[in-house]
Amino acid sequence: MVLQPSERHYRDWSHRRLGPWCSPTGSPAPLSCETGCGEGSWILVCRLLVPTQVSLLSMEEDIDTRKINNSFLRDHSYATEADIISTVEFNHTGELLATGDKGGRVVIFQREQESKNQVHRRGEYNVYSTFQSHEPEFDYLKSLEIEEKINKIRWLPQQNAAYFLLSTNDKTVKLWKVSERDKRPEGYNLKDEEGRLRDPATITTLRVPVLRPMDLMVEATPRRVFANAHTYHINSISVNSDYETYMSADDLRINLWNFEITNQSFNIVDIKPANMEELTEVITAAEFHPHHCNTFVYSSSKGTIRLCDMRASALCDRHTKFFEEPEDPSNRSFFSEIISSISDVKFSHSGRYIMTRDYLTVKVWDLNMENRPIETYQVHDYLRSKLCSLYENDCIFDKFECVWNGSDSVIMTGSYNNFFRMFDRNTKRDVTLEASRENSKPRAILKPRKVCVGGKRRKDEISVDSLDFSKKILHTAWHPSENIIAVAATNNLYIFQDKVN
């Protein structure tokens, strides 16, 4: 089969599965509003890592990928810096889970289909497709490298047999199509079996090519490249509910794109001051409303959230709503502004609330109330007295993400020492869990962790000074309808699910 020069097909070396694509099997587990996030209910499903070695294999060889899968993808530490996971995202059905890493690669995992023979494997995710999304580039004008690190991945809702996702680095957004191929045409008239053109004089019969089954192959193709629209670093992308447009946000501007048009975008927010010396605030995150295609929010480094309506004007520099909590004077310090900087903003699935993450807390806001959040959760308040050290070692600038569960009843975010936290909004209970190799055996129940703040330390507690600040959980994802979560710890991807009795 001859590949078109304009398209590069990335052959995939996940294990080859027999069977056509189909909608996910199995009924979703009861939502966590019934099971809660109480202690002892989460188990490790699998820990995955995709080392760099895999990508060095030649694309031309026909490799037995099952062998690769088994030998490389479990429990090997080939980890390099390029393998550090930088984004995690489930698709809209939860069947697929995409990760992006610092090396510009995207790895997509697919959920193991349920079968009667292997009931215990339900909920496991296996590699489905791997491809190089972004390459390192060099900006000649500024003499600066453009990192290939994938900052964000966002899935498009599925509209046909193929899957589409957006992936972005600091400067360029790409639309990727991931599709399965399980048939190939054979018996061409004009070409021989290797694809070479036959000498017309030798053709004496007429025949029609026939589609014959082949081993399932997953291909990833770049369908669109949206480049040259951002001067500053892209921190967010968000697909609009109209499925026709999406936005990309950098430190100072937000652009609106149409999926079909790559050489043009609309600038909808611009906070760049005329005089750069007056710059005191940047955009940190942005997201479209899940249902209203004219509404979006963006957060800032000063701890504010602005909600904008695109119907009001072409350039949404004037917000429709402005969310800011008045500062608590008793907590004021030189670091107040830094820790108020919002690192992530997410709409609830209902569209009624937004959740923001700043350095020490997660806050839930009601869209109808701008003057303060309706809920505030302390993620790791014991760090408040350590802010100076954290400023010194730059940890204070870490950008943690936050996620909702499918029913908006539980929120989750990461912390240090490979800890991550869940807060149940209904019961007001919270739990701290750890994603680490030492403490997790497959199917073992996760033990809740506790940080000891001062005084006597109990047996299982860990003191604040023993926390490992190099082990940070910045990226997590929650399955859209089930209690399955993906937690990225450096180059490891942990998948947990709640124990179903």
Partner 1 sequence: MFARGLKRKCADSEDSPPAPPACSLQRQSLLDMSLVKLQLCHMLAEPNLCRSVLIANTVRQLQEEMSQDSAWQVPAPASAGRGPLERLVSTEILCRTPWEQQGGHSAADSGGSPAPDLLSEPPGAPSAQAPRGAPGCAWEAASPRESRGGFQRSLDQIFETLDSKAPRAAEGLFADVDGPYYDLDAVLTGMVGAKSVPGDGFETLAPTGAPPPGVSYKRDLGELDHVVEILVET
Name the residues that contact partner 1, by CB under 8 A: 81, 142, 144-147, 170, 232-233, 251-252, 275-282, 284, 301, 331-335, 337-338, 341, 384-389, 391-394, 397, 465
Rounded least distance, CB 463 to partner 1, Å: 11
Nearer to partner 1, 427 or 466 (CB): 466
Half-sphere exposure of 414 (CA within 13 A, CB side): 29
Rounded least distance, CB 56 to partner 1, Å: 21
Nearer to partner 1, 64 or 327 (CB): 327
The Cα–Cα gap between 359 and 381 comes to 9
The Cα–Cα gap between 483 and 202 comes to 62
The Cα–Cα gap between 128 and 115 comes to 18
Residues in the chain: 501
The Cα–Cα gap between 103 and 12 comes to 17
Nearer to partner 1, 191 or 272 (CB): 272
The Cα–Cα gap between 386 and 375 comes to 24
Rounded least distance, CB 286 to partner 1, Å: 14
Rounded least distance, CB 378 to partner 1, Å: 15
β-strands 451-452, 462-463 pairing: parallel
Rounded least distance, CB 299 to partner 1, Å: 11
Nearer to partner 1, 117 or 330 (CB): 330
Nearer to partner 1, 202 or 275 (CB): 275
The Cα–Cα gap between 221 and 205 comes to 36
Q: Are 155 and 246 in contact (CB under 8 A)?
A: no
Rounded least distance, CB 405 to partner 1, Å: 28
Nearer to partner 1, 156 or 252 (CB): 252
Q: Are 420 and 487 in contact (CB under 8 A)?
A: yes
Q: CB pairs under 8 A, 24+ apart, for 195-203?
A: 195/1, 195/2
The Cα–Cα gap between 461 and 450 comes to 5
Rounded least distance, CB 274 to partner 1, Å: 9
Nearer to partner 1, 340 or 409 (CB): 340
